[in-house]
Chains A and B, each alone.
Chain A
Amino acid sequence: MDFEITPEQQALVESVRSVLERECPTALVRDIVENGSAPEQPWKSAHELGWTSIDLPEGLGGLGLGFTTLGLVVEQHGRCIAPGPFLASVTQFLTLVCEAGAPDQLELFAIPAAAGELRGALAIDHGRVAERQPGESLRARRDGNDWILEGERPYVLDGDTADEIAVVARVDEGDRVGLFLVPQAAAEARRVVALDASRPLAHLRFDGVRVEPGRVLGTPGRSAAALGRSLERATIAAALECVGTCQTLLERTLAHVKSRRQFDQPIGAFQAIQHKCADMFLQVEKARATGYFALLAVTEDDPRRALAASMAKAAASDAQRLVCKDAIQIHGGMGYTWESDVQLFVKRAKTLEALFGAGDAHRRRIADLLEV
């Protein structure tokens, strides 16, 4: 049993990191947050360098490098709090289309999404993800061969910037899950004043939006399994991005305590600080190991994959809670300021915590799966 990554994966991770570090300094994120800019990078690089098609099967023109490799790349995005559509489009939208789509839908939606020509988002009830329910606020009903969407889906990541929305709606048959592809323009979008403006959220309203058969993914009422599998991937990806963000917060905190001097010594020499740092390190290591296990479990389609996904999210939750708390605290007054970059990372981590269910929801799911 070996949880180390291959030399090929390591090389890719390092190249992703160096590109992101170059193209995505915190100044870029700050410019989005403060000035509402919409930078082309690092998304342009992500598809030009093939990152967006890492997990797409070779038969569809993808790289077929697998979900583990994709997860490692997402972790690097978290380290640099990279903005842009990567998380929503590649780990959420594309994942669902690949899991549930028919061949012609893969052709029309997956291949362009993997090429970066189409940006997708996933409209899901984040509050019900852990329990695999579609939620009640958005429903779909049959109308001849078409389906009609009615209702609201709040808090959709990239909900007003994506080109296409994969919509999860409640249907009145079978397993209650219906999956639909809707052009973003068909929904009425309301931008949320989001905590992390580099992870934009929108409330989407669907007022009788008609969906033609070619845009129905799988069979409504028989889609829970496909949804569950793609949500496992999306949840794990969010957990890995969170691990990356926590890693950077830890590193920045360590650098701070080594250089900041009080009482004629670096504050990192104080045991009160050392113990906090040791605990932060422990939680980040725990979250990373758990996240990597989840990547493997999905890649190998291990029977523990559902449990692994919830464990990864719950472990990332534990990490972000402690790391955010102590990173702010240890940075002292500066950690509370707007000009410190600590706030940018903390806000990203808190956003990722809330996506796809927070730690407590996933611990409930773990308890359910263990039949406690």
Chain B
Amino acid sequence: MRATRIAGASPTCSRYDVKLHYDAPTEAFRSQLRAWLEQNQPTLEEMRADPLTSSAHMTDWARRWQQCLFDAGLLVPGWPPELGGRNLPPVQQLVYHEEMAKIAAERSGNPQGLGIIAPSIHDYGSDLLKEKYLRPTLRAEITWCLGMSEPGAGSDLAALSTRAEVHDDHFVVSGQKIWTSGAHHADHCFCFVRTDPDAPKHKGISVVIVDMKAPGVTVRPLPEMNDPDHVDFNEVFFDGVVVPRDHLVGPLDQGWSIPAGSLAHERGMMWLRGAAKLDGIVAGLLELAREPGPDGRRLGEDECFRDAVARAYLDTQAIWFMGYRGFAKFARGEVSPEHSVLKLFSSEVCQSAALAATEAMGIGALDVDFEGYGYDDTHGLPPWMTQYFQSYRATISAGTSEIQRNIIAQRVLGLPRR
């Protein structure tokens, strides 16, 4: 085929699908959304006065905010109004996520409830469970923790051994979960349990909803390395906990097929919050560059640090570019390898950027005084050493970087499993 002119193309007005800008209706939506957020988002003062201390800590302002989003059809904008949405098309959903990433308030004080458990109940729950849990979850009336990892089942999640004995009208749950975010604040646990111990590993797993106040449930907080007062993770012990039979989600023994991922229709946009966080880190590095380093000179004059800032900037921009490329494929319903890559890459860029800052600062990096509380981000960026340690949340949780590399190699590049 010989290269030919595109009909109607001229040097000043070429038609490209590849754009650096959105079309006018999309930008109009953005303006409306910004104005609405300006009017309705919680103030920094009220957020600081009553900070979110875990991923299931639904403070009064957080509950009001989530209900406000729900009522405006801006909680899950791709969903219909009765589920807190307005049936937005994918591109406008992306703009929604871009704008939400710029404000201090999270969509929900219970991100796993909104992002993982509500959609799972929507897709797999019985009418009874939907009635009882879906709308209250979306309206922030109840909060959730996700019972997945166990001491003996981390990366190898299907090795989980928490048992649920099956009886006629109830289950009896015994075992232990760990890394259970927000368990000390959550009302319910969306819990992966073994219902058939004789079946192969991936079979015989079911999902049940456990009342966290039920007799036999014990929660032991597991503070993170940065702060003994900061608890999001917990160990959760189940000792003969009775769960009604109708609190089974999906078919018995087929819990492994319930994808404990994020909202499926938002999967092409989940990278965006990580990219926005990295923008904040790059801005922090640029600010740090203006401050004196260990030798008294401006850090921006240190060639090593300049190189690290340029790397962090480049990698962050690349994450946006890859994210948008992946989104374009996602919006067309195609498989996009970008998503598996983006989790891995953004978490590691975050880590190396924070590490570079600590190294450039020298002894000054040892001052870790910070007014903010670990889980809320209303006080700006924590000290760089704290950020460096916090970065391991992203490289370890939701599939470690090593597991991500296995996934990319096997599912994207087609290399054989062992």
Contacts and interface: CB of A to CB of B under 8 A. Distances in A.
Interface in B113-131: none
A268 B14 CA distance: 44
Interface in A263-302: 265-266, 268-271, 273-275, 277-279, 281-282, 285-286, 289-290, 292-293, 295-297, 299-300, 302
Given A299-B14, A366-B314, A372-B289, A278 B408 contact: yes
A364 B322 contact: no
B325 A4 contact: yes
A49 B3 contact: yes
B228 to A, nearest CB: 35
A66 B16 contact: yes
Interface stretch (B42-50, B181-189, B261-269, B302-310): B302-310
Contacts of B405: 274-275, 278-279
Interface string A217-259: 0000000000000000000000000000000000000100110
A161 B1 CA distance: 29
B286 interface: yes
A271 B410 CA distance: 10
B239 to A, nearest CB: 37
A5 B5 CA distance: 16
A273 B345 CA distance: 18
Interface stretch (A54-62, A79-87, A100-108, A339-347): A54-62
A314 B408 contact: no
Nearest to B1: A15
A282 B286 contact: no
B20 A50 contact: no
Contact of A281 (B328, B412, B418): B412
A268 B415 contact: yes
Contact of B416 (A269, A360, A366): A269
A8 interface: yes
A57 B11 CA distance: 6
Interface in A64-78: 64-66, 68-69
Interface size class of B (residues with CB under 8 A): 35 or more
Interface stretch (B52-60, B201-209, B336-344): B336-344
B306 A372 contact: yes
Contact of B409 (A65, A265, A274, A363): A274
Which residue of A54, A275, A281, A289 has the most chain B CB atoms within 10 A of its CB atom?
A: A289
B221 to A, nearest CB: 34
A4 B18 contact: yes
Contacts of B309: 367, 370, 372
Given A1-B19, A363-B311, A63 B5 contact: yes
Given A8-B6, A278-B405, A370-B286, A300 B415 contact: no
B406 interface: yes
Contacts, number: 187
A273 B416 CA distance: 11
Contacts of A6: 15-18
A316 to B, nearest CB: 11
A254 B413 CA distance: 8
B36 interface: no
Interface string B35-79: 000000000000000000000000000000000000000000000
Contacts of A257: 415
Interface in A355-372: 360, 363-364, 366-367, 370-372
A9 to B, nearest CB: 8
Contacts of B337: 281, 285
B417 interface: yes
B300 interface: yes
Given A277-B415, A286-B345, A1 B6 contact: no
Contact of A278 (B14, B18, B413): B413
Given A278-B408, A296-B18, A363-B311, 17 more contacts: A2-B19, A4-B329, A63-B5, A65-B6, A68-B18, A254-B414, A265-B418, A277-B408, A279-B405, A281-B341, A282-B341, A289-B318, A311-B313, A311-B317, A315-B318, A367-B307, A370-B313
Interface of A: 1-6, 8, 11-12, 15, 48-51, 53-54, 57-59, 63-66, 68-69, 254, 257-258, 265-266, 268-271, 273-275, 277-279, 281-282, 285-286, 289-290, 292-293, 295-297, 299-300, 302, 311, 314-315, 360, 363-364, 366-367, 370-372
15 contacts: A4-B325, A5-B18, A6-B16, A58-B11, A254-B414, A274-B410, A278-B413, A285-B322, A286-B318, A293-B317, A299-B16, A360-B307, A366-B313, A367-B300, A372-B300
Interface of B: 1-6, 9-11, 14-22, 94, 286, 289, 300, 305-307, 309-311, 313-315, 317-318, 321-322, 324-325, 328-329, 337-338, 341, 344-345, 402, 404-406, 408-410, 412-418
The list of the 7 closest CB pairs from A to B, nearest first, reads A274-B409, A363-B310, A289-B321, A15-B1, A50-B3, A278-B408, A278-B405
